Amino acid sequence: MITLVRNHILGFLLLVLLQALVLDHLDLAHGWVVPYLYVLFIIALPFDTPPWATLVIGFVLGLTMDFFSSTPGMHAGACTLMAYARLFMLRILAPRDGYDIIKRPNVRDMGLTWFMTFAGVLILVHHLWLFFVEVYRFDDFLSTLLRALMSAVATLLLCLLAQALTSGGVRPR
């Protein structure tokens, strides 16, 4: 349990710093693609995380990103919404006999299709909220939508890559 908490705190710091110090500074396709890999933290929380904890962790993660990007409430809102959506997605995608709590929500344990559906929907919820709140208006709806979709694809690919790179590591019990 202590290892699990410690690993998650390290993962939290690693993802936030990676996002703030590296990914936020990439200028891909003239700002049309902005990957937000840090949301992988919410996706990869253990299956038996209590719902209230998921929501609080989501809010805190978003607020931390807000400090780095000077956008009060923007990431916090997107992450809270994403954490809430995660509760529903877990219910919808549940296997017939419930989740095996030894397993983790990643490609190796749950399969590519399951993970792509789960992560894809959550990333989409997060990005749509984030990008529309960022522009603060609906007049260039299509270009914002396109930016959100393209960025969501980039984030999903990065999540898959990050999992492929780390799944060989020690698995906390």
Partner 1 sequence: MRDLFRFLFRQRNNLLFLGLMALSLFLLVNGNMHQRAQAISSSNALVGQIYAWRQEVTEYADLRKVNRDLAVALARERDRRFRSLDGTDSVQTARDTAGVARYTFVTAQVINSTTHKERNYITLGSGALAGIRPDMGVIGMGGVVGIVRDVSPRFALVTSVLSDEYRISVQLKRTGHFGLLSWDTDDPRTASMTDVANHVPVAPGDTVVTRGNDGIFPPGITVGTVTEVNEDPGSNFHDIRLKLSEDLTRTAYVHVVVDLFKAERDTLEAKVGRP
Name the residues that contact partner 1, by CB under 8 A: 17, 20-21, 24-25, 27, 30-31, 34, 51-52, 55-56, 58-59, 62-63, 66-74, 76-77, 80-81, 83-84, 87, 133-136
Residue 110 or 130: which CB sits closer to partner 1?
A: 130
CB of 138 to partner 1, least distance (A): 13
> Could you tell me which residues come within 8 angstroms of residue 98 by beta carbon, excluding any fewer than 6 positions away?
none
**Structure-token match 């219910």, residue found:** 91
CB of 51 to partner 1, least distance (A): 4
Residue 13 or 164: which CB sits closer to partner 1?
A: 13
Residue 52 or 141: which CB sits closer to partner 1?
A: 52
CB of 168 to partner 1, least distance (A): 28
Residue 20 or 160: which CB sits closer to partner 1?
A: 20
Cα 6–chain centre separation: 19
**Structure-token match 């690993």, residue found:** 7
CB of 73 to partner 1, least distance (A): 3
CB of 22 to partner 1, least distance (A): 9
**Structure-token match 């809430």, residue found:** 84
- Cα 139 to Cα 11: distance, rounded to the nearest angstrom: 38
Residue 81 or 156: which CB sits closer to partner 1?
A: 81
- Cα 50 to Cα 45: distance, rounded to the nearest angstrom: 10
101 — phi, psi (to 5°)?
Answer: -75, -5
Are the beta carbons of 74 and 133 closer than 8 angstroms?
yes
28 DSSP 8-state letter: B
- Cα 135 to Cα 130: distance, rounded to the nearest angstrom: 9
